[in-house]
Structure 1
Amino acid sequence: MSVIGFIPVAGNILPYIIGGPLALGIAYFFLKLIRGEETAIEDMFAGFRKFVPAFVLYLLTAIFTLLWLLLLIVPGIIAGLRYSQAFYIMVDCPELKASEALNRSKEMMAGNKWKLFCFYWGFFGWLLLCILTLGIGLLWLYPYYETSRANFYQNLRDQHFTYTEPTLDSNPPVSM
């Protein structure tokens, strides 16, 4: 259980508030990593510089996926696959609104959802092994998984679209 879970009210709301910026920062970090650029741990928090768009994107993705999930499980899974590239797209095109990033993700995933489903399914056995190690295996699996996801996006991007390089660094880092 995380420390945030012990805080009564914030424990229920805080993960939803910071989930979008963290997802954007992680996408940014791993895209830089696979592109051979210099990375730092601070890159994982770069999404907080674009807090509102990242939060809105996270919220819209969750709402749309949940609405499709209410119909049946399979449409919900398909919706999750459809919107899976939105944070990477927002890294490459930070000027986009959340709805535009979702639309571009839908375009990019047309004809590629089965490929991504098989990609995710390939990690299932590794996840089971991580459970057997009481989660210790996740220290190795999670970075491998995120790097693989970034490579999946990069391959799709190279096939279908032309974007600029990540520009979240264009803002000066937040000083403490």
Structure 2
Amino acid sequence: MTSRRELKNYAKQAMSGKYGILILAFVAVQALALISSMISSALFPGEETIDIVLSYAFTFILTLLINVVAAGMNYMYLNIARGKVYSLNDLFYFYRHHPDRVIVAGFFMAVLNLLTMLPYTIYSNANLPGEDASVEVLITWLYTGVVLMIVGMIVYQILVIPLEMTYYILADKPELKSTEAMKESLEMMHGNFGRYLMLKISFIPLMFLSVFTFYIALLWIFPYMAMTEVMFYRDLTGELKVQKEEEERMARDYVNPMFDSYSRNEQPQEDQTHPQHFGNVTGESSTVYYENNKDNVSSGNKETGDIEHNSWENTEMQDDLRSQTNAEEKHDQYNTEKNDMQSTQTQTAPKEEEDNEPKPWDEYFNSL
């Protein structure tokens, strides 16, 4: 399994150079949620129970429709993580491909959210302080409401973790129904609950630090979280493992381009020419042949033993005669070569020329 640091590094690499469209998609989804809340407040401004119930019902319906767009954002993030073509039109992908699947899955999650936030909703509306309430009462009401809201959000996040992969599965498998996708998400997250929870907790320090940027940094933090979750999904499906192996192969080719080509060409040659492979093939057949013909071989050895003994003595005598004959022939050949060399030297030696020219003293002796 890939560590949290590696998942975040892969998320940063995928987001590099694409922050504009990622932030724009996030802002679009949040703007739709804000607009739905404003419309609900405008349509049901009263503080009576009927107005509150209708306001929540209307907001609930709008939330289901907005979840289809949010699921489309997850589809766009998947395309970016995989290096595929992407655009803002991906936000409406599920509206064009069976939106009912996302609506059913979103309905289940929305009901779960409603139940976990119900204590906060009841308390904040039933114990609303009046206009003449003291500051202490307002602070107590506000403090209790914030605590209930935070607790409800934490409980919801914990309960919904096993279903977090549903939208990604629906994006990858359009033929699946929403219930089948949720079931597959439960199976996929089995044994990975703690890893995913720690992954989400690891972003809390960044959220606290965003206070110093007047929460402007959240425009980068939330897309960063979403892309890291996409990488977590790809890790569960095995895509990241394949990607890492491909990156290692490319790095090896960059360092030594001849390595892979040599290894690919070397393996077939070893299979054809290496003695070990030949021995593995022929060794078994020769063993089987020996076992099947062991009796015949032993009987044949007994019958031919005497003949081999007699032939060995004759062969030894013949070898001695051959060695003597070869020695004599070599000696004669040596003498013949020696005589030939001497005759060649005699023929090639320059003959002395006779000196027949007259000498000065010959005249003197002739005069006498």
Distance 1:102 1:147 in 2: 20
Mark the CA change 1:47 to 1:134 in structure 2 (over 3 Å): closer, same or farther.
Answer: farther
Counterpart in 1 of 2:237? Answer: 157
Shift of 1:48: 1.9
Counterpart in 2 of 1:167? Answer: none
Distance 2:165 2:93 in 1: 18
Higher helix share: 2
Distance 2:117 2:191 in 1: 20
Mark the CA change 1:65 to 1:5 in structure 2 (over 3 Å): closer, same or farther.
Answer: closer
Deviation digits for residues 93-147 of structure 1 (CA, Å, limit 9, x no counterpart): 1111111111000000000000000000011111122244232112211221111
- Give percent identity, aligned residues only: 27
Q: Which runs of 4+ in 1 moved over 4 A?
A: 64-70, 72-77
Distance 1:129 1:84 in 2: 26
| 1:33 partnered with 2:80 | yes
Would the aligned equivalents of 2:60 and 2:110 in 1 still touch at CA under 8 Å?
no
Mark the CA change 1:110 to 1:39 in structure 2 (over 3 Å): closer, same or farther.
Answer: same
Distance 1:62 1:3 in 2: 18
User: Cα RMSD over matched residues?
Assistant: 2.7
**Who wins on radius of gyration, i.e. which is larger?**
2
Distance 1:5 1:64 in 2: 19
Counterpart in 1 of 2:196? Answer: 116
Counterpart in 2 of 1:54? Answer: 102
| 1:19 partnered with 2:99 | no
Distance 2:237 2:209 in 1: 32
Counterpart in 2 of 1:172? Answer: none
Structure 2 segments unaligned to the other structure (5+ residues): 1-30, 44-54, 119-150, 240-368
Shift of 1:92: 0.6
Structure 1 segments unaligned to the other structure (5+ residues): 160-176
The number of residue pairs the alignment matches comes to 158
Q: Bigger CA drift: 111-120 or 50-59?
A: 50-59
Mark the CA change 1:142 to 1:92 in structure 2 (over 3 Å): closer, same or farther.
Answer: same
Would the aligned equivalents of 2:166 and 2:182 in 1 still touch at CA under 8 Å?
yes
Distance 1:145 1:77 in 2: 14
Mark the CA change 1:103 to 1:64 in structure 2 (over 3 Å): closer, same or farther.
Answer: farther
Among 89, 93, 113, the residue aligned to 1:42: 89
> TM-score of the superposition, structure 1-length normalised?
0.77
Shift of 1:46: 1.4
Shift of 1:39: 1.0
